[in-house]
């Protein structure tokens, strides 16, 4: 599973790459972009999501989930 600190080397990701980093489908990324839960931008028809935005998204989901119960496996 990716963490907020795993995504460092690049400035931006295409939806397919963001999906791989988050462990979800490309369709899920497009749904998150459409809902505004994940923010990105377009250059002509190409979509991009910043590494900072992916880290923010992960941090928010980790915060919403709360701490793992004692004895839970990582």
Where residue 41 sits, what CATH number does that domain have? 1.10.1660
Is residue 32 a part of any domain in this protein? yes
pLDDT band at 67 (very low <50, low <70, confident <90, very high): confident
Is residue 49 a part of any domain in this protein? yes
Is residue 4 a part of any domain in this protein? no
Question: How would you classify residue 9: left for phi > 0, otherwise alpha for psi between -120 and 50, otherwise beta?
Answer: alpha
Distance CA 56, CA 70 (A): 25
Lowest-confidence region among 4-8, 40-44, 60-64, 68-72: 4-8
Counting the structural domains of the chain, the total is 1
**Inter-residue contact 48 to 13 (CB < 8 Å):** yes
- For 24, the domain range is 12-65
- pLDDT at residue 10, rounded to an integer: 82
Is residue 36 a part of any domain in this protein? yes
């Amino acid at each position: 599973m990716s963490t907020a600190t795993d995504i460092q080397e690049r400035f931006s990701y295409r939806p397919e790459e963001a999906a791989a980093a988050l462990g979800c489908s490309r369709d899920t990324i497009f749904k998150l972009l459409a809902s505004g839960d994940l923010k990105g931008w377009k250059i002509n028809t190409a979509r991009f999501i910043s590494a900072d935005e992916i880290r923010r998204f992960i941090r928010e989901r980790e915060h919403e989930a709360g701490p793992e119960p004692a004895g839970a496996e990582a």
